[in-house]
Amino acid sequence: MTSRSPALTVIVPAFNEEEVLPEFHRRLAAVMGGIGLAWDVLYVNDGSRDRTLEVMLALQAGDPHVAVLNLSRNFGKEIAMTAGLDHAQSSEAVVIIDADLQDPPEVIPRLVEAWRQGFDVVYAQRNTRAGETMLKRATAAMFYRLMQKVGGKVTIPPDTGDFRLMSRRAVDALLRLREQHRFMKGLFAWIGFPSTPVRYDRAPRAAGTTKWNYWKLWNFSLEGITSFTVAPLKIATYVGLLTAIGAVLYLAQLIFRTLAYGNPVAGYPSLLAVVLFLGGVQMMMLGVIGEYLGRIFNETKGRPLYLTERHLPSRLN
């Protein structure tokens, strides 16, 4: 038998997903069998602290379609996905999907369909956010609106996660972006190429818990903005300019009042208010600069994005 390289590789980053992985694989295999393409699935274990790796190895032993990539520790989903893309060098297209069954594998045939029509990027766009609170929805909506404003020429489609299909050339383009701070929504959008959405209903998590909380989401938004645009630095310039103009006007008013009415000098409270206000603004702007400086620092180290503990390819021959 000749060795066939897979036409389609499904990349599944997983962190502490021992509970859902068997069910995920069952559903994925059922769907992929009907697509009529040579396929394999690459499970990326992102330093899980439970038995995720063991579950993956068991799946690999029982199914020739399964490949396993074990990272040396937890690097985060963005890097786990990148590691997966790095290891899918021979496939014509790649699908990225979450392990927790929030992205239903049953949508994959529709992604493939659009790819066959000639689209390089087919992103799954969610209709509903089942199982998510009002607050989560509202903050997500705000985030997309903000990113649209600061994004400039690059448009990030709303209600779109990492669940998508990418053609070979789109993956190759994405892999040329090796920055440490990987805001994937931004990177996906940056590469361009003919793209189309496929709508689907996002399910609530099948088992386990999300690794997200509001503090993480806040940092994620900061990451998105600072790795995408230097608008905050420009805002700092204008805030400085406005405060300076305000100060000049206030000073003029003080001089006028003293000359015209001989008012005594205004007291301690107004002085303190102004000093504290300016101190606060300056610290905040230093923080903004610091955000960028920290990112420059991290990028200049030029470290590899991740380290691999083990890679077991699929046995597709």
Tell me which residues touch ligand UDP (CB under 6 A). Answer: 13-15, 17, 46, 74, 76-77, 80, 98-100, 102, 210-212
For tokens 């239903």, name the residue. Answer: 104
Strand partners, 95: 10, 165
**Of residues 45 and 167, the one with the C-beta less far from ligand UDP:** 45
**Of residues 74 and 229, the one with the C-beta less far from ligand UDP:** 74
Report strand pairing: 8-14 vs 93-96: parallel
- The pair of three-digit structure tokens given for residue 85, joined into one six-digit string: 């893309």
User: Pick from ligand UDP, Mg ion, none: which does 74 bind, CB < 5 to 8 A by kind?
Assistant: ligand UDP
CA distance 56 to 66: 8
- Site membership for Mg ion, residue 102 (CB under 5 A): yes
CB-CB contact of 171 with 88 (8 Å): yes
- Site membership for Mg ion, residue 100 (CB under 5 A): yes
- Site membership for Mg ion, residue 16 (CB under 5 A): no
Q: SS3 for 214-278, per residue?
A: HHHHHHHHHHHHHCCCCHHHHHHHHHHHHHHHHHHHHHHHHHHHHHHHCCCCCCHHHHHHHHHHH
**Of residues 56 and 171, the one with the C-beta less far from ligand UDP:** 56
**Interface region with Mg ion, contact rule CB under 5 A, candidates 93-101, 137-145, 181-189, 293-301:** 93-101
Q: What is the smallest separation between the CB atom of 76 and ligand UDP, expressed in angstroms?
A: 5
CA distance 286 to 288: 5
Q: What is the smallest separation between the CB atom of 205 and ligand UDP, expressed in angstroms?
A: 6
**Of residues 69 and 236, the one with the C-beta less far from ligand UDP:** 69
Query: DSSP state, 105?
Result: G
Q: What is the smallest separation between the CB atom of 9 and ligand UDP, expressed in angstroms?
A: 16
CB-CB contact of 77 with 52 (8 Å): no
Q: What is the smallest separation between the CB atom of 117 and ligand UDP, expressed in angstroms?
A: 28
Radius of gyration of the chain (CA): 25
Q: What is the DSSP string of 155-213?
A: -PPTTEEEEEEEEHHHHHHHHT---SS--HHHHHHHH--SEEEEEEEEPPPSSS--S--
User: Pick from Mg ion, ligand UDP, none: which does 76 bind, CB < 5 to 8 A by kind?
Assistant: ligand UDP
**Of residues 14 and 57, the one with the C-beta less far from ligand UDP:** 14
User: Pick from Mg ion, ligand UDP, none: which does 126 bind, CB < 5 to 8 A by kind?
Assistant: none
Q: What is the smallest separation between the CB atom of 30 and Mg ion, expressed in angstroms?
A: 21
**Of residues 19 and 40, the one with the C-beta less far from ligand UDP:** 19
Interface with Mg ion by CB under 5 A: which residues?
Answer: 100, 102
